[in-house]
Amino acid sequence: MQTPSFEADEQVAEVARAYAQDLVAMARSQYAVELDYSLDSVASVERIAGDIAGSKPRFARFRPSAQAKLEGFSKMLGFYLAEVLQRHMAAEHGWVQMPDGQRFYGVRLSDGSLVWPVGRAIQRLMAGAENDLAVYVRALQGPPES
């Protein structure tokens, strides 16, 4: 079985930083929360994601404007997570090339693992709290060192 390949891309990193900054600004203005890119800040991001998910109207995903909002929120949340991973786990932003030809944004962790924080954010908003973003980041950190 072929494995996906990864190509680091500084332009993707710039986009990630911009979306992450948008979340920082939104958290400050709408939630009175200061996000500082710490691992602990992800708990606040999860609360914001829960609020966003709880406020979406039923069947909103079928309206084009609602779909665009979902995509924007997912990118803000996911790219913030990606920036936290980049800063605390030496992760890289870039493109994942799947064996079937699909290409999409991803993050490569220092151990070579590939993760999709924007995809996880979409799951959180669409499928619910079982896709908790704080749990996701803790799982990527691995077990605590003793």
Residue 16 lies in a domain: yes
Question: If phi over 0 gives left and psi between -120 and 50 gives alpha, with beta otherwise, what is residue 32?
Answer: left
Residue 45 lies in a domain: yes
Residue 146 lies in a domain: no
Residue 14 lies in a domain: yes
Instruction: Give CA angle at 112 (109, 113), nearest 5°.
Output: 70
Residue 50 lies in a domain: yes
Q: 106: how many CB neighbours lie within 10 A of its CB?
A: 24
Residue 9 lies in a domain: yes
Q: Which helix (DSSP H) or strand (DSSP E) does residue 29 occupy?
A: helix 10-31
Q: What pLDDT is stored for residue 1 in this prediction?
A: 67
Three-state secondary structure call for residue 67: helix
Three-state secondary structure call for residue 115: strand
Which residue range is the domain that position 103 belongs to?
A: 5-141
**pTM of the prediction?**
0.90
At 142, is the pLDDT very low, low, confident or very high (cuts 50, 70, 90)? confident
Nearest to 116 by CA among 128, 104, 125, 99: 104
Residue 68 lies in a domain: yes
Q: How far is CA 62 from CA 32, 55, 70, in A?
A: 31, 16, 11
Q: How far is CA 124 from CA 31, 70, 74, 109, in A?
A: 19, 11, 9, 21
Residue 13 lies in a domain: yes
The number of distinct structural domains making up the chain is 1
Model confidence pLDDT, tens digit, residues 74-90:
999 999 999 999 999 99
Lowest mean pLDDT, pick from 10-14, 34-38, 63-67, 130-134: 63-67
CATH code: domain of residue 80: 1.20.120.1090
